[in-house]
A = this chain, B = another copy of it.
Amino acid sequence: MKIKELRKSKHISQQKMAMDLNTNQNTISRYETGVREPGISELIRIADYFEVSIDYLVGRTDNPKFYK
């Protein structure tokens, strides 16, 4: 989960990001530290938020074989 990198590249706090996504700061923190994982709908919202693919978000970009 590349949330932390993406968030920092946008120079926003966990707090702001949490607000934007209608959730809590601690939830974002957990995603970033990996102690919790978001469900699919949350995953999509985060990907939308950063305008990246889910595959990138979850670190699956280096996988050479997804085409569709």
Chain B residue at minimum C-beta to C-beta distance from A6: B68
Secondary structure call for the A interface: loop
Distance A14 CA – B53 CA, assembled complex (angstroms)? 28
State how many copies of this chain the complex holds. Answer: 2
Interface size class of A (residues with CB under 8 A): 20 to 34
User: Is the beta-carbon distance between B58 and A55 smaller than 8 angstroms?
Assistant: no
Q: How far is the CB of A66 from chain B (nearest CB, A)?
A: 4
Which residues 15-68 of A have a CB within 8 angstroms of B?
Answer: 37-40, 43-44, 47-48, 51-56, 58, 60-61, 63, 65-68
Mark A residues whose CB is within 8 Å of B.
37-40, 43-44, 47-48, 51-56, 58, 60-61, 63, 65-68
